[in-house]
């Protein structure tokens, strides 16, 4: 369907947008990302499909806009940052492994990652999701220098773990004994959140 000429029409109000979001959230949750169509979302919301394009752009962009985080960021950060500071990496590793072991939250994460891999346009919104809503605020609250770099590296490991474990499918990442995996991840998250310059500081391009 070609992009309609929405530029000249007065955009519908926030109620319409909210109706689309509600319908999309329900569809994505019920039938999954691949089987959700813009047409079905529009029918559920009682709007013209072109309004979805107008408000959200592509299906991927709609998905990222309405994706329900499987946790409340503020509450989660409070929990992660409470207690011994040296254990923040361990708490984050446990939190991440719990998300990946729960089929519903794992499915949400993998849908977001696959959308980013296949659609250039979705990548920027996923970047916003990770850096603005999730790991950026966490890195800032920890108070380390270069929070943007640290948040991006944390994101790279979180995305990489989900990808390696559930898309590429390394058996060692799905072993019954999760303690070794959690311990190594905990140390790595501590490096990204708390680590200073490398112990060996020999100059290198």
Which residues are at the interface with a copy of itself (CB under 8 A)? 84, 86-87, 89-90, 94, 113-114, 116-118, 123-124, 126-127, 130-131, 146, 148-153, 155-161, 163-165, 167-173, 175, 179-188, 191-192, 195, 197-202, 204-205
> Where does residue 198 rank: exposed (0-12), middle (13-18), buried (19+ CB within 10 A)?
exposed
Smallest separation, CB 79 to a copy of itself (Å): 14
**CA atoms lying within 13 Å on the CB side of residue 107:** 11
Closer CB to a copy of itself, residue 39 or residue 156?
156
Smallest separation, CB 88 to a copy of itself (Å): 10
Closer CB to a copy of itself, residue 59 or residue 150?
150
Smallest separation, CB 101 to a copy of itself (Å): 11
Q: Of 173, 149, 176, 177, give the one whose Cα is nearest residue 161.
A: 173
Rounded Cα–Cα distance for residues 161 and 91 (Å): 16
CA distances (Å), origin 141, targets 6, 96, 113, 137, 203: 42, 18, 25, 6, 31
Q: Of 179, 174, 150, 151, give the one whose Cα is nearest residue 162.
A: 174
Closer CB to a copy of itself, residue 102 or residue 180?
180
Smallest separation, CB 1 to a copy of itself (Å): 23
Closer CB to a copy of itself, residue 18 or residue 102?
102
């Amino acid at each position: 369907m070609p992009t309609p000429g929405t530029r000249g029409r007065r955009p519908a109000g926030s109620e319409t947008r909210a109706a689309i979001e509600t319908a999309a959230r329900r569809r994505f949750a019920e039938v999954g990302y691949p089987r959700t169509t813009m047409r079905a979302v529009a029918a559920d919301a009682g709007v013209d499909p072109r309004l979805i394009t107008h408000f959200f752009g592509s299906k991927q962009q709609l998905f990222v806009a309405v994706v329900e985080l499987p946790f409340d960021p503020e509450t989660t950060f409070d929990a992660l940052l409470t207690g011994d500071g040296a254990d923040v990496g361990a708490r984050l590793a446990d939190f991440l492994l719990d998300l990946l072991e729960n089929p519903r939250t794992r499915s949400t994460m993998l849908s977001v990652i696959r959308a980013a891999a296949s659609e250039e346009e979705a990548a920027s919104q996923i970047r916003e999701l990770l850096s603005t809503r999730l790991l950026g605020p966490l890195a800032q609250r920890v108070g380390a220098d270069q929070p943007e770099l640290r948040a991006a590296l944390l994101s790279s490991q979180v995305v990489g773990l989900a990808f390696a474990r559930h898309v590429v499918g390394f058996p060692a990442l799905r072993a019954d004994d999760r303690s070794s995996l959690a311990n190594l991840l905990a140390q790595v998250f501590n490096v990204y959140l708390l680590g200073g310059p490398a112990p060996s500081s020999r100059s290198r391009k």
